[in-house]
Structure 1
Amino acid sequence: MTFGKKLWMTLFIFIVISVGAAFGLAYLLYEKLYVESIKTELAEAAGNLANDYEGGDLDSAFVDQVNWFSEKSPFEAFAVHNPRELAACIPYEADYETLIGPEERAQLLENKMIEETGYSERFDRQIISVIYPLLDEKQLNGIIYLYVPLERIDELVSSLVMFWAAGAVLLMALLLYGGLKWTDYVIKPLENMKNAAVRLSKGDYKARVPADSEDEFGQLARTFNEMADAIEQEDEQRKTFIATVSHELRTPLSYIKGYSEAAINGIGNQKKQLSIIHREAIRMERLVNDLLELIRLDSGKMNMEKTFIPLADLVYRTVDIFRLKHDHFQLDVDEETIVNGDEGRLSQVMTNILDNAVRYSKKKTPIYITLKREKNMIKWIVRDTGAGMPENEIPKITNQFYRINKARTRHDGGSGLGLSIVKQIVERHDGKLMIESEAGVGTTVTVILPALIEGGEEK
């Protein structure tokens, strides 16, 4: 059963329950208001008539008074000397023993009124009656009997039937109209999301749903659209990634193919050709390694073997690697800094950042390296006075394959993945990578890592 059918079934059940409750309420009011009020009036009338009884045998004057009351009131009333005469007076079939048995006679002798209800074929309706005792010194000298045929509920509301019918039709129309609107309101957003989800599953990442309302459906639609945006962005990144990888591999492959064919055919300087082939092979190897590392980081499958590391020693070792390329480093290192991290990965972070600083700095210009602790953080800062970059390029610099100067970077052997890998490694250490730069002035890269407090726990 579809959700729409379930809603309609719910609406139908609601209507049935509402109508049933209305009839139930009508009968309840009939019993509680009309029938109970009749019983009360009968009892009061019988009591008032009994108050005029002065004792002794019933005289004709008292009987006439009861008969006069019967003619003037809506109730039928009469008084009898012997309770056995009652069976002949009542308007429905009943014998004396049924009306007044031992239990009822005991009630009458205690001056208690008896209520009786029976069906009269002559009146074709229920009859309510009361039997009131006439006592003289605890001797039952007679009874007063009052009865009234009850109006049927259909007779009571006959004048209102048309209004009830019109109201019922109007109510049904309103419920159906409201049900259609409500069903459309509930089903349409879900139908839109279902259709959009089908389009997404078939590769249409532009699929979106209207999100105009502020209720739960609107929130669900906005969440769906955010998910679709993320999927579309992921798809665009995937396409860009594949296209970029293809482009990055095509260039060294074309070099290798071209120069290997020239070497095979004995054309040109074979030593230079083999050197270029070797260089391009190294570049391809580096690119493939970086891609594999990036994939492992993205998938969370790269394990971080964290230990307590004196970060100053790692800084010194990394700087020593680059002294052959650049001999002007100025270090300000706090040798007491210790972090909980993966030594190999943090070494990779420092190597990549220093490699960029050396690559884009002139030989004799200083590169400033600072390692310090500030409260619960350790900051490793590398500042160069090299080429720098425009401010609008900074947010993009950690994107995969992003290059500011593509020609120079490719010549230098960069894959465009280094800072993307660095960022992920730092974040896997619960740290933060910050880059500040200005074209022609230089670049400052700051790696912030959690510091350790006493006892070897991270702050």
Structure 2
Amino acid sequence: MKRIVTGLSFLQKLWLTICFIVLCTVLFFFLMFQFAYKQLYVSYVQTTLINEGKGLVERYHNLGDNKKFIEFLNSYDKVSNASVLYISNPRDLSACLPYNVHHESFITEDDRETLLKDKVISKTGYVDRFKRNIVGVVVPILKGENLEGIIYLSVPLKSITELVNQSKWLLVFSTFFFSTIVLLIGRRIIQQMIKPLSKMEQISYKMAKGDYSERMTSITGDEIGKLALAFNSMSDSLQREDENRKDFLANVSHELRTPLSYVSGYSEAILDGVVKEDELKHYVGIIHSEASRMQRLVRDLLDLASLEGEQFPLQKAPNVLSQIIEEAITPYLNSLKEKQITVIKNIDDSIIANLDADRFSQVIHNVISNAIRYSPIGKSIYVTLKETDSIYIEIQDEGKGVPKEQIEHLGERFHRVEQARSRKEGGTGLGLAIAKQIVELHDGKILFTSEPNHGLKVLIILPIFE
């Protein structure tokens, strides 16, 4: 017996998966927001400072007077968000800028080379003196190839950090609210998705106990809905199989009960001496007849079981169909003569089919035997063999036919149109079922049509041999 390992349900697994995905997504976007927002904001501040610095340089050149520019710069520094320093001697920069914490020159020789090329230097870093991060730009003031001075503009990053921190709490709250809503909605959706699966589980347990009556009713158009349709189809098939099994057992019991009662009753009568000597041969004949009938029934059952279970592989080979049909009719010549039945043939001798000759001969035997059994005395049986888009074999008798409501049941095990008459004439009710199985194993199909008092037409369709 297999051990069932208990653990998380499918609903719990799916729920935890969604929670994990939401958590990872929120965390990823939260980190990306912090990184991207800070980087973009710093870049924006640097660009603003550079443009502001270049504007001041242009103002310096327009004024053309160092004293006036310093006065303008003092006024400008009071209204600007940035701290503005003007250094006319770049070599003294280390004594003026806040970055000169350790009395080291802020402008290196490489920086001076950069400034001489009229390029702006951007600097971002932590300053111990102010205990904060600062974004600064150094804009050169050039006259020809000489560096007349620089304009240093700086903005403390405290405001940026506060902005990010404020946004961080807003983001945390929004994320928590959004995640809660998403998870609640997701849980509801998951429950709706799992509901049909839970229903299928309940039905499957009932089916395991033999109850096939319940079906899935709420069917959607998605994959679960398709699964529900397939589940209903499976339930229908299992119910049919269960009914067929019960019918099969009932029919086998019924078929064997009558001959067994005859054999048992007459043999007891003979053993008890009840049967007179001149009647002994008659009763022994009945016992033999019923025993033969049981033998045929068992043989047909074994044949049908092997065909349905595909335990009897077909030995297919190219065969002339007309020869198989002629050989199958030959054993019935005496029966045909006794009932004065004429077989009218319209057979194309050139048709070849890829089939198992022995098994397909059994098909013709069963159909011909059935036609003879139900044909009145003096009537005809028509056998036609032709080939167009497929190979067609028609066998039609002139009996009284089969009622329309029973046509669809022809080919089912133990189905008889006339129960008493068929049993009296020795049929097992399996002939057409065996024929149907053999034809289908040859990739063909067998059809039945009938009209009142116009007999039964059996049409066998086979693929063309190529």
Q: Name the TM-score, length of structure 2 as normaliser.
A: 0.87
- Paired position in structure 1 for 2:84: 77
- Paired position in structure 2 for 1:401: 414
> Deviation at 1:42?
1.6
CA distance in 1, matches of 2:66, 2:394: 125
CA distance in 2, matches of 1:38, 1:313: 100
Residue 396 of structure 1 aligns to a residue in which SS? Answer: coil
C-alpha spacing 1:291/1:46, structure 2 compared with 1 (3 Å): same
> Deviation at 1:106?
1.8
Does residue 320 of structure 2 align to residue 306 of structure 1?
A: no
Please identify, of 23-32 and 70-79, the stretch whose mean Cα deviation from structure 2 is larger. Answer: 23-32
CA distance in 1, matches of 2:12, 2:411: 52
Aligned ranges 1:434-445 → 2 under 5 Å: 434-445=447-458
Alpha-carbon displacement from aligned partner over 1:46-84 (angstroms, at most 9, x marks no partner): 2232234459x9854433332222112122112234335
Aligned ranges 1:102-113 → 2 under 5 Å: 102-113=109-120
Q: Return the match for 1:446 from 449, 453, 459.
A: 459
Aligned CA-pair RMSD: 2.8
Is the Cα–Cα contact under 8 Å of residues 135 and 142 in structure 1 kept in the other structure? yes
CA distance in 2, matches of 1:315, 1:44: 103
Does residue 190 of structure 2 align to residue 180 of structure 1?
A: no
> Deviation at 1:122?
5.7
CA distance in 1, matches of 2:414, 2:326: 29
> Deviation at 1:121?
4.9
One-letter amino acid of the counterpart of residue 336, structure 2:
H
- Paired position in structure 2 for 1:455: none
C-alpha spacing 1:13/1:443, structure 2 compared with 1 (3 Å): closer
Is the Cα–Cα contact under 8 Å of residues 86 and 96 in structure 1 kept in the other structure? no
Aligned ranges 1:194-233 → 2 under 5 Å: 194-233=201-240
> Deviation at 1:297?
0.8
Does residue 434 of structure 2 align to residue 421 of structure 1?
A: yes
CA distance in 1, matches of 2:423, 2:229: 42
Please identify, of 307-316 and 396-405, the stretch whose mean Cα deviation from structure 2 is larger. Answer: 307-316
Alpha-carbon displacement from aligned partner over 1:169-216 (angstroms, at most 9, x marks no partner): 431231122221232133333333334334434443335334421011
Is the Cα–Cα contact under 8 Å of residues 359 and 438 in structure 2 kept in the other structure? yes
- Paired position in structure 2 for 1:285: 295
- Percent of pairs identical after alignment? 37
- Paired position in structure 1 for 2:361: 347
One-letter amino acid of the counterpart of residue 353, structure 1:
V
Is the Cα–Cα contact under 8 Å of residues 401 and 416 in structure 1 kept in the other structure? yes
CA distance in 2, matches of 1:52, 1:432: 99
Alpha-carbon displacement from aligned partner over 1:375-422 (angstroms, at most 9, x marks no partner): 244433333222322122111121100112111111111110011111
C-alpha spacing 1:165/1:238, structure 2 compared with 1 (3 Å): same
Unpaired runs of 5+ residues, structure 1, are 452-457
CA distance in 2, matches of 1:404, 1:162: 84
- Paired position in structure 1 for 2:3: none
- Paired position in structure 1 for 2:404: 391
Count of residues paired in the alignment: 451
Alpha-carbon displacement from aligned partner over 1:311-346 (angstroms, at most 9, x marks no partner): 334444444432322323142343524333333223
Q: Name the TM-score, length of structure 1 as normaliser.
A: 0.88
Please identify, of 128-137 and 287-296, the stretch whose mean Cα deviation from structure 2 is larger. Answer: 128-137
C-alpha spacing 1:112/1:305, structure 2 compared with 1 (3 Å): closer
Is the Cα–Cα contact under 8 Å of residues 30 and 153 in structure 1 kept in the other structure? no
Is the Cα–Cα contact under 8 Å of residues 322 and 385 in structure 2 kept in the other structure? no
Is the Cα–Cα contact under 8 Å of residues 304 and 342 in structure 1 kept in the other structure? yes
> Deviation at 1:129?
1.6
> Deviation at 1:280?
0.8
> Deviation at 1:349?
2.1
One-letter amino acid of the counterpart of residue 276, structure 1:
I
Is the Cα–Cα contact under 8 Å of residues 79 and 142 in structure 1 kept in the other structure? yes
CA distance in 2, matches of 1:112, 1:267: 134
Aligned ranges 1:19-30 → 2 under 5 Å: 19-28=26-35, 30=37
One-letter amino acid of the counterpart of residue 346, structure 1:
F
Alpha-carbon displacement from aligned partner over 1:16-56 (angstroms, at most 9, x marks no partner): 2333344335335533543222212222222232234459x
Does residue 14 of structure 2 align to residue 7 of structure 1?
A: yes
> Deviation at 1:92?
4.8
Aligned ranges 1:115-194 → 2 under 5 Å: 115-121=122-128, 123-153=130-160, 155-156=162-163, 164=171, 167-194=174-201
Is the Cα–Cα contact under 8 Å of residues 135 and 156 in structure 2 kept in the other structure? yes
CA distance in 2, matches of 1:98, 1:191: 76
Please identify, of 185-194 and 286-295, the stretch whose mean Cα deviation from structure 2 is larger. Answer: 185-194
> Deviation at 1:266?
0.4
Is the Cα–Cα contact under 8 Å of residues 58 and 81 in structure 1 kept in the other structure? no
- Paired position in structure 2 for 1:18: 25
CA distance in 2, matches of 1:83, 1:436: 111
CA distance in 1, matches of 2:84, 2:433: 105
Q: Return the match for 2:331 from 321, 343, 346.
A: 321
Does residue 370 of structure 2 align to residue 356 of structure 1?
A: yes
CA distance in 2, matches of 1:332, 1:113: 108
CA distance in 2, matches of 1:405, 1:370: 24
CA distance in 2, matches of 1:347, 1:79: 114
CA distance in 1, matches of 2:446, 2:437: 9
Residue 324 of structure 1 aligns to a residue in which SS? Answer: helix
Does residue 381 of structure 2 align to residue 368 of structure 1?
A: yes
CA distance in 1, matches of 2:144, 2:398: 128
Residue 71 of structure 2 aligns to a residue in which SS? Answer: helix
C-alpha spacing 1:140/1:95, structure 2 compared with 1 (3 Å): farther
CA distance in 2, matches of 1:306, 1:110: 93
Is the Cα–Cα contact under 8 Å of residues 448 and 459 in structure 2 kept in the other structure? yes
Alpha-carbon displacement from aligned partner over 1:408-446 (angstroms, at most 9, x marks no partner): 111111110011111122222333323222333322223
Please identify, of 70-79 and 192-201, the stretch whose mean Cα deviation from structure 2 is larger. Answer: 192-201
CA distance in 1, matches of 2:327, 2:66: 134
Is the Cα–Cα contact under 8 Å of residues 58 and 141 in structure 1 kept in the other structure? no
CA distance in 2, matches of 1:132, 1:220: 71
